[in-house]
């Protein structure tokens, strides 16, 4: 990647994009493809673009989902960037080589081919409207730049090591936007139960989240037990529903939830198999540590064994925070944004795209899909304006 040399003097651009992640890259590419004459600068805080994309999907990058809103547009865009796709279960899409880093590499090459100026290592500190004319001052690393249009694509607030520390929310507020409360979601859930026996075990299971004793949501998948609680995609998805009302404390709120783990959701046991279980003989039905936990919890009461096999209860204590969460809930209030373009309804020429917007989705490629989609829409709108 050839870095642009901005020098010490003020530089003017048609479009400055703050951030160099998924939505920023989609916006820049989409804008330049339509209007090659546009001067575009991308400012990224870290030394490389797309660090979160490179870490996504455990390095495989679950890039979109066939069932996601706007997926056809996103798929076209990705193919146009020379990223062929591979379909997996439940409509999940991956780059064909399942290598997240290559997605960033291919997109970076595309940005360069299109003549987009890229400046990594610049932390934008402020975006300010010009006092008496349209346009903005963008400041960071001691530089002052000018732009007719600005797209803020700084992502969320989770996993600061990937560049996302919530800077964009401060910029949005300073430009008059309402930012809804920020909450870490898609995260492991700590529980009150002793995890000594189960820690380190992975088990395919059906998880049911109850609130006030009523079934709220069901997730199937692989649960990963840790020394503090539960993790894995199915648990991340459940974490999105562990919410609190305005007038209750987090502890009070979480006290209303429980998670039941069914280790044999698709099996009906005949009488003989059930009798063996009730004697504590699980054979190859469940992993050894799970069997030991079922026995310990059942405390010698045979009738408790099938209950713990099908509905082992866990009581949420805490949803892990910003360092472990994959996503931010909350953000720039969508009522103040034209969702077709990402443009602010309050400030002409100001756009937002990606996770900074107050919209979050479950695991499965939906969040990256949202980032690409909102980036494409913003880029096209700027180019067509």
Ligand X SMILES: Cc1cc2nc3c(=O)[nH]c(=O)nc-3n(C[C@H](O)[C@H](O)[C@H](O)COP(=O)(O)OP(=O)(O)OC[C@H]3O[C@@H](n4cnc5c(N)ncnc54)[C@H](O)[C@@H]3O)c2cc1C
CB atoms near residue 322 (< 10 Å): 18
Q: Under DSSP, is residue 78 helix (H, G, I), strand (E, B) or coil?
A: helix
Residues 122, 132: contact at Cβ < 8 Å? no
Based on the shown chain and the rule CB under 6 A, indicate whether residue 56 belongs to the binding site for ligand X: yes
Piece of 17-25, 219-227, 231-239, 307-315 that binds ligand X (CB under 6 A): 17-25
Based on the shown chain and the rule CB under 6 A, indicate whether residue 19 belongs to the binding site for ligand X: yes
Longest dimension (CA), the chain: 83
Three-state SS string over 143-208 comes to EEEEEEEEEECCCCCCCHHHCCCCHHHHHHHHCCCCEEEEEEECCCEEECCCCCCCCCCEEEEEEE
Binders of ligand X among 154-173, rule CB under 6 A? 154-155, 158-159, 162-164, 167-168
Q: Which of 22, 145, 209, 350 binds ligand X (CB under 6 A)?
A: 22
Q: Which of 16, 40, 104, 153 binds ligand X (CB under 6 A)?
A: 153
Residues 153, 27: contact at Cβ < 8 Å? yes
Residues 48, 120: contact at Cβ < 8 Å? yes
Piece of 153-161, 271-279, 293-301, 341-349 that binds ligand X (CB under 6 A): 153-161
Piece of 188-196, 262-270, 291-299, 351-359 that binds ligand X (CB under 6 A): 351-359
How far apart, in whole angstroms, are the C-alpha atoms of residue 296 and residue 303? 13
Q: How far is the CB of 182 from ligand X (least distance, A)?
A: 14
Residues 111, 29: contact at Cβ < 8 Å? yes
- Measured CA angle at 338 (ends 31, 20), to 5 deg: 40
Based on the shown chain and the rule CB under 6 A, indicate whether residue 51 belongs to the binding site for ligand X: yes
Based on the shown chain and the rule CB under 6 A, indicate whether residue 326 belongs to the binding site for ligand X: yes
Nearer Cβ to ligand X, position 18 or 312?
18
Closest CA to 51 of 91, 119, 104: 104
Q: Which of 40, 54, 124, 309 binds ligand X (CB under 6 A)?
A: 124
Q: How far is the CB of 56 from ligand X (least distance, A)?
A: 3
Binders of ligand X among 327-346, rule CB under 6 A? 327
Q: How far is the CB of 136 from ligand X (least distance, A)?
A: 14
Piece of 16-24, 30-38, 209-217, 286-294 that binds ligand X (CB under 6 A): 16-24
As a whole number of Å, the end-to-end CA separation of the chain is: 29
Q: Which of 52, 119, 177, 380 binds ligand X (CB under 6 A)?
A: 52
Q: How far is the CB of 304 from ligand X (least distance, A)?
A: 38
Q: Which residue has the tokens 């009522």?
A: 335
Q: How far is the CB of 35 from ligand X (least distance, A)?
A: 21
Q: Which of 18, 81, 111, 264 binds ligand X (CB under 6 A)?
A: 18
DSSP track, 259-311: EEEES-TT----HHHHHHHHTT--TTSS-HHHHHHHHHHHTT-TTHHHHHHH-
- For 112, residues 6+ apart whose C-beta sits below 8 A from its C-beta are 1, 2, 118
| Contacts with ligand X, 67-106, as mask; x by CB under 6 A | ----------------------------------------
Binders of ligand X among 188-227, rule CB under 6 A? none
Q: How far is the CB of 340 from ligand X (least distance, A)?
A: 18
Q: How far is the CB of 46 from ligand X (least distance, A)?
A: 5
How far apart, in whole angstroms, are the C-alpha atoms of residue 206 and residue 311? 9
Residues making contact with ligand X (CB under 6 A): 18-24, 43-46, 51-53, 55-57, 61-62, 123-124, 153-155, 158-159, 162-164, 167-168, 326-327, 354-356, 365-368, 371
């Amino acid at each position: 990647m050839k870095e642009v040399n901005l020098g010490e003097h003020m530089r003017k651009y048609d479009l400055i994009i703050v951030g160099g992640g998924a939505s920023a890259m989609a916006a820049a590419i989409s804008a330049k493809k339509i209007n090659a004459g546009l001067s575009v600068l991308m400012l990224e805080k870290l030394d490389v673009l797309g660090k979160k994309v490179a870490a996504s999907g455990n390095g495989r990058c679950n890039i979109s989902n066939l069932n996601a809103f706007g997926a056809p547009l996103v798929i076209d865009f990705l193919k146009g960037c020379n990223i062929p796709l591979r379909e997996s279960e439940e409509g999940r899409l991956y780059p064909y080589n399942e290598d997240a880093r290559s997605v960033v590499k291919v997109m970076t090459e595309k940005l360069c081919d299109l003549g987009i100026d890229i400046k990594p290592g610049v932390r934008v500190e402020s975006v300010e409207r010009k006092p008496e004319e349209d346009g903005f001052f963008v400041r960071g690393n001691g530089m002052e730049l000018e732009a007719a249009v600005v797209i803020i694509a700084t992502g969320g607030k989770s996993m600061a090591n990937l560049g996302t520390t919530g800077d964009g929310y401060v910029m949005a507020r300073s430009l008059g936007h309402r930012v809804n409360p920020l909450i870490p979601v898609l995260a492991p859930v700590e529980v009150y139960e002793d995890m000594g026996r189960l820690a380190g075990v992975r088990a395919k299971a059906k998880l049911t989240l109850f609130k006030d004793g009523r079934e709220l949501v069901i997730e199937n998948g692989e649960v990963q037990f840790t020394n503090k609680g539960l993790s894995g995609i199915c648990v991340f998805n459940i974490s999105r529903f562990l919410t609190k009302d305005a007038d209750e404390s987090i502890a009070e709120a979480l006290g209303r939830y429980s998670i039941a783990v069914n280790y044999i959701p698709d099996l009906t046991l005949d009488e003989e198999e059930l009798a063996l279980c009730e004697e504590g003989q699980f054979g190859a039905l469940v992993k050894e540590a799970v069997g030991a936990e079922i026995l310990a919890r059942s405390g010698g009461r045979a009738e408790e064994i099938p209950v713990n096999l099908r509905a082992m209860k866990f009581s949420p204590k805490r949803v892990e925070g910003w360092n472990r969460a994959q996503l931010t809930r909350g953000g720039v209030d969508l009522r103040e944004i034209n969702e077709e373009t990402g443009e602010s309804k309050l400030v002409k020429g100001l756009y937002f795209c990606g996770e900074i917007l107050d919209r979050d989705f479950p695991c499965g490629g939906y969040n990256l899909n949202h980032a690409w989609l909102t980036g494409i829409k913003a880029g096209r709108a700027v180019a067509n304006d």
